[in-house]
Amino acid sequence: MSTIQLKHITKVYGDGFKAVTDVNIDVGDGEFLILVGPSGSGKSTVLRMIVGLEDISSGDLLIGGERVNDKAPRDRNLSMVFQNYALYPHLTVFENIAFPLRLHKNRQSNDEINRLVNEVADVLELKEHLQRKPANLSGGQRQRVAMGRAIIRQADAFLFDEPLSNLDAKLRGQMRTEIARLQRRLGITTVYVTHDQTEAMTLGDRVALLRRGVLQQVASPRELYEQPVNLFVAGFIGSPPMNFLPATVHEGKLQMPFVDVDIPPAIASRLTDGELMVVGVRPEAFEDASMLDESRRASGATFQAPIDVTEWLGNEKYAYVPFEPHPDVQAALDELDRELDGEAMRTQLVASIDSKSKIRPGETSELWVDTSAMHVFDPKTGENLTRDEAAAQQIAEENEAERLRQLKQSKPVGDDKVAV
């Protein structure tokens, strides 16, 4: 178990392409850190630099306080699960899992190896498959073999490179829970790369969001969701994504399509009349106005909106409201959409409303929006003007306390006391 520190890590490829720029991350002992970002954001490159499969152009990588930049992968004592598992097809499941131990012949006796492999197989429920070859296993089983190979060694940290992207949706959900359980139980420092924001939000103690090789924000999932630092983070985290509405500053109000709201007092001094801003509102900040009682209605603003399409999902309902954006903001939003691998055909507002709502497509209905949950972004820099540092700090502290509490209950493999 160990800490991993990335200090000013930069990766420049031979052709001059800068894949990763000045990334600083501290991964605490036993922490589960997620590296997330759209494709091409450099997240896998960061992981491969940590494990040593990719050279670090500049900056320092410290594992357990020791600089390991120039160490070969085998000397870094990390274990990794590859996207395609990279199981050895000529070896049985048993030998695949035992492989890291066999490389150090004089370290463990055969009996010891037997015991450890069986213990790992118990944890991962691979007992009855030990003598089979990887070719005869299902995707989920192969995934577990790859994890077995990673956890059998007393590695300082686990690295996962999009381990679930080859599984179908149902299995992915199950394995996600499995990985979370395993990590909590073993309490080993983990760095996990994914492009899937659901995995990022559910698995990680903290999430590091990358965009074109530049670190945007490292924070707990809740902080990313509630206090994003910029337009990119706000747009990436959350499903369906945050709605971005153009807003013009006019006499103390933000004029948006459908509705005008008061400027939050905290940022009033930073806005000048006539300035164009982007307001971000999460879908769940909306509600069908008719479903609310008076006291809640008063805490937000109501407006008339032409509903285009509705989607009923059982526990909630999505209402889509198309609107014409301001051309100046449109460029910024299009750019953001491209970076998030999106292919939005039209600008529309998504409202997540009560599933019992009577709102029908094709009609104009009254919607309510929680004005306190709004974020105001500068369209030029993307900066979130409404981010509350104090609240963010508090979320981070709560998150860290919770993590340490859980870490106390973990037990690494190889301990004889492992409870099965």
Partner 1 sequence: MAAEVSPRAKIWLGVASVPIILYTLLPIGWILSLSLKSSGSITDRAYASLNKKAWSWENYRYILTGAGGSLFRPALVNSIVICLIATVVGVGLSTFAAYGIARLDFPGKRLILNTALLTAFFPAISIVTPLFNLWRSIGLYNTTLGLIIPYLSLTLPISIWTLTAFFRQIPWEMEQAAQVDGATSWQAFRKVVFPLAAPGVFTVAIISFFTAWNDFVYAISLSSTTGSTAPHFTGSQTVPAVLGFFQGPSQFIPPTGYVAAAAVIVTVPVVILVLFFQKRIVAGLTAGAVKG
- Closer CB to partner 1, residue 51 or residue 396? 51
Site string for partner 1, 214-233 (x = CB under 8 A): --------------------
Concatenated DSSP letters of 271-297: --TT-EEEEEE-GGGEEEGGGS-HHHH
Nearer to partner 1, 73 or 412 (CB): 73
Beta strands in 256-410 (DSSP E): 260-262, 276-281, 286-288, 301-306, 309-312, 316-322, 348-354, 364-369, 375-377
94: contact with partner 1 by CB under 8 A: no
Q: Rounded to 5 degrees, what are φ and ψ at 13?
A: -80, 165
Q: Is position 312 an interface residue for partner 1 (rule: CB under 8 A)?
A: no
For partner 1, the closer CB: 120 or 307: 120
- Complex with partner 1: residue 12 or 340, whichever CB lies closer: 12
Contacts 24+ apart (CB under 8 A), 171-176: 171/139, 171/140, 174/140, 175/140, 175/143, 176/202, 176/203
Q: Which is nearer to partner 1, 47 or 254 (CB)?
A: 47
Which of 50, 278 has the CB closer to partner 1?
Answer: 50
Residue 43 CB, shortest distance to partner 1, in Å, is 17
Q: Are 407 and 30 in contact (CB under 8 A)?
A: yes
* Side chain identity, residue 47: L
CB 369 within 8 A of CB 259: yes
Compute the Cα dihedral for 403, 408, 410, 411 and give only its sign: positive
Among 57, 64, 82, 320, binds partner 1 (CB under 8 A): 82
The binder of partner 1 chosen from 153, 176, 375, 387 (CB under 8 A): 153
The secondary structure element, H or E, covering residue 410 is none
What are the tokens at 134? Answer: 């990887």
* Shortest spacing between CB 83 and partner 1, in angstroms: 8
Pattern 331-370, binding to partner 1, x per CB under 8 A? ----------------------------------------
**169 near partner 1 (CB under 8 A):** no
Q: How far is the CB of 410 from partner 1 (least distance, A)?
A: 23
Residues 49-78 binding partner 1 (CB under 8 A) are 51-53, 72-74, 77-78
- CA 93, distance to chain mean position in Å, is 31
- Minimal distance in Å, beta carbon 193 to partner 1? 14
Smallest distance from partner 1 to CB 159, Å: 8
Nearer to partner 1, 153 or 317 (CB): 153
Which of 166, 290, 330, 371 touches partner 1 by CB under 8 A?
Answer: 166
Q: Which is nearer to partner 1, 186 or 285 (CB)?
A: 186
Question: Amino acid identity, residue 283?
Answer: P
Check binding of 16 to partner 1 (CB under 8 A).
no
Pick the binder of partner 1 from 149, 172, 206, 375 (CB under 8 A). Answer: 149
Q: Are 44 and 162 in contact (CB under 8 A)?
A: yes
Task: Give the H or E element holding residue 244.
Answer: strand 243-250
Hey, what long-range contacts does 400-409 have (CB within 8 A, 24 or more apart)? 403/28, 403/30, 403/31, 403/205, 406/184, 407/29, 407/30, 407/187, 409/184, 409/187
The reply to whether 298 sits near partner 1 by the rule CB under 8 A is no
Give me 186's structure tokens.
Answer: 């073993």
Question: What would the x/- binding string for partner 1 be over residues 103 to 122, using CB under 8 A?
Answer: xx------------------
In the complex, least distance from residue 28 CB atom to partner 1, rounded to whole angstroms: 22
How many angstroms separate the CA atoms of 18 and 99, rounded?
36
List 27, 32, 85, 319, residue binding partner 1 (CB under 8 A):
85
# residues contacting partner 1 (CB under 8 A) = 33
Residue (of 292, 257, 291, 253) closest to 273 by Cα position: 253
Binding site for partner 1 (CB under 8 A): 51-53, 72-74, 77-80, 82-90, 99-100, 103-104, 133-137, 139, 142, 149, 153, 166
